[in-house]
Amino acid sequence: MREAIITFALCAIFCSQTTHAQTQEKTVMLYRIQIEGEKSDDDFIQIKNNTDEPVNIGGWKLKKRTQSGKEYSIKTIEKNTLLEPDTTFLWTNKDSEQAKNADATTTQTLSKNNAVALLNEENEIIDAIAWGNGHENLFENTQETEHNPEKNEILTQDDNRNWSVKKERLEEKPEETTYQKILLNEILPNPKGEEKENEFIELYNPTKEDVNIGNYILKDASKTGKYTIPKNTIIKANNFFTVTRKDFSFAMNNSGKETVTLLSPDETMLDETTYEKAKKNVSYNRTPDNTWRWSKKTTPGKENVLNNLPYGKMEIEKNIYRNTYADFSIGTKDNDKDNIKITWHFGDGKKSYKKETRHKYTETGTYHGSVTLDDGSEKTVKKFTVTVKKFPHPNVRIRKIMPNPKGDDAKNEWIEVENKSKQTLNLKGWSVATGTSSKKLTNHPINEDIKIKPGKKAKITRKESNIVLGNKEGVIKLRYPDGKKAHETKYKSKTTIKEGVLYEKTDTGWQWTETQKKIEKETSTNNKEKIGLVAGTETTNLPIGGQSKEAFEKPWHKKHTLFTNIVFT
Q: How many CB atoms lie within 10 A of CB 510?
A: 19
Residues 402 and 539 in one domain: no
84 or 23, greater pLDDT: 84
Q: Are 132 and 153 in contact (CB under 8 A)?
A: no
pLDDT score at 551:
36
Q: Are 541 and 509 in contact (CB under 8 A)?
A: no
Burial of 348 (0-12, 13-18, 19+ CB in 10 A): middle
C-alpha 304/C-alpha 297 separation (Å) is 8
Helix (H, G, I), strand (E, B) or coil at 200: strand
Phi then psi for residue 119, to 5 deg, are -120, 145
Both 385 and 400 in one domain: the answer is no
CA 377 centroid distance within chain = 22
pLDDT per position as a tens digit, 156-193: 999 889 999 988 766 555 555 667 789 999 999 999 98
CA geometry: angle at 392 spanning 389 and 395, to 5°? 170
Query: Residue 80 has what pLDDT?
Result: 84
Is the same domain home to 10 and 127? Answer: yes
CA angle at 568 for the pair 564 and 569, rounded to the nearest 5°: 125
Confidence of residue 549 (pLDDT cuts 50, 70, 90): very low
Share of the chain above pLDDT 70, in %: 84
Residue 319 lies in a domain: no
> What is the pLDDT, as a whole number, of residue 249?
84
Using the 3D structure, point to which of 121, 137, 170 is the last residue of a domain: 170
Distance of alpha carbon 140 from alpha carbon 484, whole angstroms: 79
Q: Are residues 126 and 239 in the same domain?
A: no
Range of the domain at 227: 183-295
Q: Are residues 379 and 426 in the same domain?
A: no
Judge if 253 and 207 occupy the same domain: yes
Tally of structural domains, the chain: 5
Both 250 and 106 in a single domain?
no
**Residue 487 domain flag:** yes
pLDDT, tens digit (0-9, with 9 covering 90-100), for 57-71: 999 999 999 999 999
> Are 15 and 54 in the same domain?
yes
CA-nearest of 166, 172, 169 to 9 is: 166
Does residue 138 belong to any structural domain of this protein? yes
Clarify whether residues 89 and 165 are in a common domain: yes
213 against 558, higher pLDDT: 213
Residue at 313 is within a domain: no
199 with 123, same domain: the answer is: no
Edge-first strand listing for the sheet containing 320-321: 320-321, 379-389, 365-374, 341-345, 351-352
Percentage, residues of the chain above pLDDT 90: 69
Mean pLDDT of 216-243: 93
DSSP notation for 488-556 = EEEEE-SSPPPTT-EEEEETTEEEEE--HHHHHHHHHH-TTS--PPP-SS--EEEESSS--HHHHTSHH
Mean of per-residue pLDDT scores for the chain: 85
Q: Residue 195's pLDDT is what? A: 84
State the pLDDT at residue 68: 95
Is 278 within the bounds of a domain? yes
Give the chain's largest Cα–Cα span: 146
pLDDT tens-digit series, residues 476-511: 999 999 899 999 999 998 899 999 999 999 989 999
Band the pLDDT of 337: cuts 50, 70, 90: confident
Q: Which of 241, 272, 295 finishes a domain?
A: 295
Give the domain-ending residue among 115, 139, 170.
170
What's the pLDDT score for residue 232? 85
CATH code (residue 464):
2.60.40.1260
Q: Tens of pLDDT along 31-90?
A: 999 999 988 899 999 999 999 998 999 999 999 999 999 999 999 999 889 898 999 999
Specify the amino acid at residue 425.
L
Q: If we measure between CA atoms, which residue out of 483, 567, 480 comes closest to residue 532? A: 567
The pLDDT score that the predictor gives to residue 561 is 38
Mean pLDDT of 234-249: 93
Which CATH number is 372's domain given?
2.60.40.10
Spell out a b/e string for 297-321, using b for 16 or more CB atoms within 10 Å of the CB, else e.
Answer: ebbbeeebebbeebbbeeebbeebb
Exposed / middle / buried, residue 157 (Cβ in 10 Å: 0-12, 13-18, 19+): buried
pLDDT digits (tens, 9 = 90+) for 106-161: 999 999 999 999 999 999 999 999 999 999 999 999 999 999 999 999 999 998 89
User: Is residue 22 located within the same domain as residue 128?
Assistant: yes
pLDDT > 70? residue 95:
yes
Residue 114 lies in a domain: yes
Task: Check whether residue 228 and residue 264 sit in a common domain.
Answer: yes
Report pLDDT digits (tens) over 275-300: 998 999 999 999 999 999 999 999 99
Q: What is the dihedral of CA 358, 362, 366, 369, to 10 degrees?
A: -40
Is 17 a domain residue?
yes
Residue 301 belongs to some domain of the structure: no
Residue 6 has pLDDT above 80, yes or no: no
- C-beta separation of 330 from 314 below 8 A: yes
H helices, E strands: number in the chain: 5, 46
Strands 217-219 and 258-263: antiparallel
- Report the b/e string of 81-94 with b at 16+ CB within 10 A: bebeeeebbbbbbe
